[in-house]
Amino acid sequence: MRSSHPIGIFDSGIGGLTVAHAITRRLPHENILYFGDTAHLPYGDKSAAAIQAYAVKICNLLIQQECKLILIACNSASAAAFELVREYVGSKAKVMNVIDPVIDYLGEHYARHTIGLIGTKQTVNSNVYRKKTDALEKGIVLHSLATPLLAPMIEEGFFNKNISQAIVNEYLSDESLRGIEALILACTHYPLIKAQINAYYGGGVAVIDSSEIVAQSLQGYLTEHHLLNRQGLVSNEVSNEATSEGLPRRQFFVSDYTRSFEASTRIFFGEQVRLEHYPLWE
Ligand code: DGL
């Protein structure tokens, strides 16, 4: 495994670009290979078995492309497929998920606190956050609520609007979230509605956005294992095309291409990126 090899990142679609963006901001010299499984989106309503089958196939591609690290940038897939993927990938690449870094963060900062969590049905029903916080034995009480309307709402561009504020308010006023001191955004789409969530709580509840926490943890792993890419250090430019000498390369593949997905990359990644159709299922 070489430090110049790419970081492979995958998600059910383009929501994971929020995490990819946090990573590229922190580690601008890394080569990135992103795969959004838009043909099977949303994962949040799928069975664990289906998500596991998709994840294994995506990992085959990322292994083929010699990724040094594979990040499952989707809570639903992290909940359903992380253990299986880690075993499947074995020593070919390090596999990370978006849940464990948040659990570590809770252990450090929120011992004996009452925490809320919102995410897809898959993430919430898997109970994975509860099991992992219980395993910390730090007296953290976790209250989770499935909020399945939020991801499609954001993808349709409904954020920072009155209608989305009303939906956010409705979910957050649910009885199950009463008395929480912090809220985990357990879906990679949700950083887009962080402002509306903050508006609901008026600063009284800390909002835990996993994208930054995950990027920091990934940076820590690469640093510790001497796997940070050194090759691109000469330039701050980035190439979306085949490697120009010395420039980090960023490629964004989707299993089903539409122009509207491409247009939406702007909201998740901060700038529009060129999506390439990779027909993994054809
Ligand atoms: N990005 C996914 C997650 O973090 C949610 C979208 C989906 O349901 O596919 O869970």
User: How many whole angstroms from 187 Cα to the centroid of ligand 1?
Assistant: 6
How far is ligand 1, taken at its centre, from the CA of residue 13, in Å? 8
Q: Is 59 a catalytic residue?
A: no
pLDDT at 242 over 50: no
Q: Does the beta carbon of 38 lie inside 6 Å of ligand 1? A: no
| pLDDT tens digits, one per residue of 7-33 | 999 999 999 999 999 999 999 999 999
Domain boundaries, the chain: 7-97+212-277, 100-211
Fold of the domain built from segment(s) 7-97+212-277:
Rossmann fold (3.40.50)
pLDDT exceeds cutoff 90 at 159: no
Cβ neighbours around 267 below 10 Å, total = 18
How large is the average pLDDT for residues 35-41?
95
Q: Of 140, 168, 187, 254, which is the active-site residue?
A: 187
68 C-alpha to ligand 1 centroid (Å)? 24
Q: What mean pLDDT comes out for the span 192-200?
A: 96
**Exposure letters 60-91 (e unless 16+ CB within 10 A, then b):** ebbbeeebbbbbbbbbbbbbbbbebbbebbee
Architecture of domain 100-211: 3-Layer(aba) Sandwich (3.40)
pTM: 0.93
241 — pLDDT class (breaks 50, 70, 90)? low
Q: Is 67 a catalytic site residue?
A: no
Domains 7-97+212-277 and 100-211 share a fold: yes
CA dist., res. 44 & res. 214, Å (int): 20
Quick one: tokens of 255? 């299993």
pLDDT at 236 over 70: no
Phi, psi of 265 (to 5 degrees): -60, -30
Query: Measured between alpha carbons, how far is 69 from 150 in angstroms, rounded to an integer?
Result: 29
Mean pLDDT score, 142-164: 90
